[in-house]
C-alpha cells in the first residue's frame, strides 16, 4: 500500500499563489504515475495535472495550463503542485493521487480502479 499526506492548502485572493505538497510512504516503487485532482462543491472530481514517475513527463488540464506546475522530488517521494494566478473557480478540495499505471487525466473512472488517494487539502480563492 501507499499512504499519501497532502499539505499546503489555504485561502488566497485571486491572482495569488499556493504550493501544495504530497508526501508518499509505503510501496512507492510500484507507482508509475502521480496526479492532482480537485473537487468543487456539487461537482465531480476532476484531474488537474499528472506526472510520470520515470520520465517526469507532465500533462495538464486546459483550465490550468500556464498557471499550474506539477513536479516531483524522487529523493523524498514528494509531489508538488505550484499554483499561480489563482482564480475563484480554482476553489475546491485538492487530492493527491498515485497509481501503478498512468491513466488519461480526464478519466476519473480509470483512476478510481487502482489509485491511492490522499485525504485532500482545501484551497479557497476569493
- What does 75-125 look like in DSSP terms, one character per residue? TTTEEEEEE-S--GGG-EEEEEEEESS---TT-HHHHHHH-EE---EEEEE
Residue 20: which pLDDT band, with cuts at 50, 70 and 90? very high
- Tell me the Cα Rg of the chain: 13
User: Given this model, what pLDDT does residue 126 score?
Assistant: 97
Which three three-digit cell numbers place residue 115?
489509485
- Residue 14: band (very low, low, confident or very high) from pLDDT cuts 50, 70, 90: very high
Alpha-carbon distance of 85 to 22, in angstroms, equals: 21
Cα–Cα distances (Å) from 20 to 77, 93, 122, in that order, read 14, 11, 10
Confidence band (pLDDT; 50, 70, 90) for 83?
very high
Calpha distance 39→126 (Å, rounded): 16
| CB proximity list for 65: less than 8 A, separation 6 or greater | none
Give me the mean pLDDT over the 78-87 stretch.
98
The predicted pLDDT at position 35 comes to: 97
Q: Is residue 31 a contact partner of residue 101, using CB atoms and an 8 Å limit?
A: no
Residues above pLDDT 90, as percent of the chain: 94
Question: What is the average pLDDT across 111-119?
Answer: 93
Amino acid at each position: 500500500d501507499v499512504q499519501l499526506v497532502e499539505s499546503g492548502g489555504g485561502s488566497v485572493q485571486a491572482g495569488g499563489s499556493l504550493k501544495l505538497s504530497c508526501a508518499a510512504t509505503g510501496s512507492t516503487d510500484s507507482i508509475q504515475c502521480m496526479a492532482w485532482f480537485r473537487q468543487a462543491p456539487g461537482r465531480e472530481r476532476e484531474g488537474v495535472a499528472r506526472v510520470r514517475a520515470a520520465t517526469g513527463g507532465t500533462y495538464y488540464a486546459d483550465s490550468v495550463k500556464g498557471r499550474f506546475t506539477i513536479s516531483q522530488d524522487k529523493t523524498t517521494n514528494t509531489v508538488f503542485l505550484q499554483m499561480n494566478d489563482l482564480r475563484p473557480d480554482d476553489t475546491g478540495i485538492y487530492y493527491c493521487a498515485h497509481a501503478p499505471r498512468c491513466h488519461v487525466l480526464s478519466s476519473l473512472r480509470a483512476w478510481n480502479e487502482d489509485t491511492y488517494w490522499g485525504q485532500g487539502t482545501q484551497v479557497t480563492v476569493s
